Amino acid sequence: MTAVSDTKLRNPSQSSARHGIGYRVAWFFLNNGIFVALVVEVLVFCLIGKEKFYSPAVLAIILQNASVVGIIMPFYTAALISGILDWSTTAVGALAGTLFAVLLTGCGWPWWLAVLAAMGLAVSVGALNSWVVIRLKIPPIVATLVGSGVATGVAFVLADRFGQAMQVKVIVPALRQLWVVKPLGMPLTVYLMFVLYVLVYILLNHTRLGAHLYAVGASPEAARRSGINISRLVVFMFTLLAALTALANMIHNARIMNAGPYLSPATTASGAGIPVTLVGALFAGIGLFGGTGRVEFTLVGLLFFSVLTVGMGVVGFPAQFRVAVDGLAIILALLLDSIRRYLSTR
Residue 2 in any domain: the answer is: no
**pLDDT digit string, tens, across residues 213-255:** 999 998 999 999 999 999 999 999 999 999 999 999 999 999 9
In whole angstroms, what is the distance from residue 19 CA to residue 237 CA?
Answer: 38
Tens digit of pLDDT for each residue in 115-168?
999 999 999 999 999 999 999 999 998 999 999 999 999 999 999 999 888 899
Domain-embedded: residue 7: no
Question: Cα(282)–Cα(157) distance, rounded to whole angstroms?
Answer: 33
User: How many domains does the structure of the chain reveal?
Assistant: 1
Is 1 inside a domain boundary?
Answer: no
**How many other C-beta atoms lie within 10 A of the C-beta of residue 7?**
10
Residue 183 lies in a domain: yes
pLDDT band at 8 (very low <50, low <70, confident <90, very high): very low
Largest CA-CA distance found in the chain, in angstroms, rounded? 67
Q: In 3D, which of 166, 2, 197 has the Cα closest to residue 84?
A: 2
Q: How would residue 343 be classed by pLDDT, with cut points 50, 70 and 90?
A: low
Instruction: Specify the pLDDT at position 286.
Output: 74
Average pLDDT for the chain: 84
Range of 273's domain? 12-344
Strands 168-169 and 258-259 come out as antiparallel
User: Which domain CATH number covers 76?
Assistant: 1.10.3470
The answer as to whether 294 is a domain residue is yes
Please name every residue paired with 179 in a beta bridge, in sequence order, or none if there are none: none
Domain contains 320? yes
- The helix/strand/coil state of 23 is helix
What is the model's pLDDT at position 12? 47
Is the pLDDT score of 60 beyond 80?
Answer: yes
- Please report whether residue 4 resides in a domain: no
Would residue 5 count as lying in a domain?
Answer: no
Q: What is the pLDDT of residues 255-278, one digit of tens each?
A: 999 999 888 776 654 444 556 667
